[in-house]
Amino acid sequence: MANLENIVQQLRQERDRIDSAIQALSAIGSRPNTTGNTRTKNKRTVSLAARRRMAQAQRARWAKVKSAPKLTPVRTMSASARRKIGVAQRARWAKLKKAA
């Protein structure tokens, strides 16, 4: 009989452990998901006038960038230099074609 009481005691402990695990999992499932969701809570509304001012400021910034003086290339290659490079490249290709 003592053995039977011991088994019942162990089963009750197991039941209590399972009940506490179920409660913990239920609490996790019912909690609202807040990760990565902070932006929707503090979302601000911008008035139409403010949006117009922001757009106008952005257009002014782009106009300033576009009106900046264009930088000319520092180095330009002369026509004779380009010809020399072309001749050398054609010679390289001819050498490769001859080897193949």
pLDDT in tens, the chain (100 residues): 778 888 889 999 999 999 998 888 888 877 666 666 556 667 789 999 999 999 999 999 999 989 888 777 777 889 999 999 999 999 999 999 998 7
For residues 96 and 87, what is the distance between their CA atoms, to the nearest angstrom?
Answer: 14
Tokens linked to 94: 């001819």
Task: Please tell me the predicted confidence (pLDDT) of residue 86.
Answer: 96
Tally of residues, the chain = 100
Amino acid letter for position 56: Q
